[in-house]
Structure 1
Amino acid sequence: MTMIDLGRPESGDVIDLIIEDHRRFEALLRDLRNSESDRERVRAAFSALHVAHAEAEEKYVYPALRRKTSVDAEEVDHGAEEHAEGNEALLALLECSGTDTQKFEDALEKLAELVNHHLTEEELTILNPAREDVGESTRLELGAKFATERNRQIDNDCGNLDNVRRIVQEARAEGLLDDSEGP
């Protein structure tokens, strides 16, 4: 199964790179909803991008924004919690044995709801303030780090089922997921 092209940015303004990925998420979600698309390929691509994007943001972008901006630390922490919730919903989608079942469609609806909420909130409460508070050189430096980590994650098959399970288990152990709310 060949991978859908997720882009391989090497540099750029970190805000632009993040927003480019957000648009990719929206396109992949549209393709997942389309019963005529190759949902297996799209699901694998979405999973890889979701994990790689979140890992790169949490490793480089969120810590830098917490230090350098007027972005409330609570907003940054909330972003990490939303990544965990998205990974949990992604796991439920990956665990569906087929892509033509009601279970798959229910899992997709939950995932799309969480991801779309996160994209909107992150763009409004984290990225917009960062445009004003973070200088261009820092945004470019963060962009290179974000892109390198994102691409490394994708190259290492970060979206595979076992890795997503591990990430969700770690998030539970860190208290990022409320166990009373299942996927």
Structure 2
Amino acid sequence: MTSIDLGRPVQGDVVDLILDDHRRFEALLRDLRDSSSDRDAVRRALSALHVAHALAEEKHVYPKLRRKGAVSEHEAEHGEEEHAEGHQALLAVLELKGTDTQAFDDAVEELAKVINHHLTEEELTILNPAREEVGEQARAELGDLFVKERNAQLDADCGSLAQVREIVAAAERAGKLDDDEDDSEE
């Protein structure tokens, strides 16, 4: 468990809740780059939030938005692939012993690149359509499902090193992690 506050929302519009987490990711990445911060605590907090957020989106948000026609199957699958890439980059940061090495800085830079790319793309291709094509009530109901799952995952210590290793291994088995860096973007 981590001492860094990751927020415990209990309800809200799913788009706003996801955006709140996106801003938390950006703040945690800034703290991870800051050599004067408790980088070990920050990486544990980032891991917990990344895993909880991704699992909640994949379990509730993406399937519901697909059923409502707000996002395509391709967009949902691409989001899951980007979550897997984020978990993989996160694992590289978690597995490093020290937090004051060039290897750590390099791993953090890669993690930031992967997460920032995903945040931008998700906000453009998933959250905008959700805003425009899904009604307020449905977004609120989806927000409830999202926060319940997110908070339950946080309570279950979802971002542990062992858990992230298992998530990455499962993503590899499922073919969500390609070796080629850039698969064709539309």
- Aligned position for 2:140: 140
2:101 is the counterpart of 1:72: no
Within 5 Å, give how 1:28-177 maps onto structure 2.
28-177=28-177
- C-alpha displacement at 1:70, in angstroms? 3.4
- C-alpha displacement at 1:132, in angstroms? 0.9
- Aligned counterparts of 2:70 and 2:149: Cα–Cα separation in 1: 25
- Aligned counterparts of 2:71 and 2:139: Cα–Cα separation in 1: 15
- C-alpha displacement at 1:2, in angstroms? 4.7
> Which piece of structure 1 moves more, 70-79 or 113-122?
70-79
Q: Secondary structure at the match of 2:171?
A: helix
- C-alpha displacement at 1:77, in angstroms? 0.8
Q: Which amino acid aligns with 1:61?
A: V
Q: Which amino acid aligns with 1:48?
A: A
Cα deviation, 1:35-78, whole Å, max 9, x if unaligned, reads 00010111110000000000000000000011113322211110
Which runs of 4 or more aligned residues in structure 1 lie more than 4 Å from their structure 2 counterparts after TM superposition?
Answer: none
Cα deviation, 1:132-165, whole Å, max 9, x if unaligned, reads 1111111011100100000000111000000000
For normalisation by structure 2, the TM-score amounts to 0.95
| Alpha carbons 2:89, 2:111 under 8 Å: kept | yes
Q: Which amino acid aligns with 2:93?
A: L
- Aligned position for 2:19: 19
- Aligned counterparts of 2:98 and 2:53: Cα–Cα separation in 1: 25
How many residue pairs are counted as aligned between the two chains?
Answer: 181
- C-alpha displacement at 1:180, in angstroms? 5.9
- Aligned position for 1:7: 7
Give unmatched runs, 5+ long, in structure 2. 182-186
Q: Secondary structure at the match of 2:177?
A: coil
| Alpha carbons 1:69, 1:130 under 8 Å: kept | no
Q: Which amino acid aligns with 1:177?
A: L
RMSD over aligned Cα atoms: 1.1
- Aligned counterparts of 1:70 and 1:83: Cα–Cα separation in 2: 19
Q: Which amino acid aligns with 1:154?
A: L
Q: Secondary structure at the match of 1:141?
A: helix
Cα deviation, 1:75-95, whole Å, max 9, x if unaligned, reads 111000000000000000000
- Aligned counterparts of 1:2 and 1:48: Cα–Cα separation in 2: 8
- C-alpha displacement at 1:179, in angstroms? 4.1
- Aligned counterparts of 1:138 and 1:86: Cα–Cα separation in 2: 28
- Aligned counterparts of 1:167 and 1:93: Cα–Cα separation in 2: 15
| Alpha carbons 1:171, 1:177 under 8 Å: kept | yes
- Aligned counterparts of 1:121 and 1:180: Cα–Cα separation in 2: 19
Q: Which amino acid aligns with 1:42?
A: V
- Aligned counterparts of 1:168 and 1:35: Cα–Cα separation in 2: 27
Q: Secondary structure at the match of 1:86?
A: helix
> Which piece of structure 1 moves more, 47-56 or 65-74?
65-74
Identity among equivalent pairs (%) = 69
| Alpha carbons 2:96, 2:104 under 8 Å: kept | yes
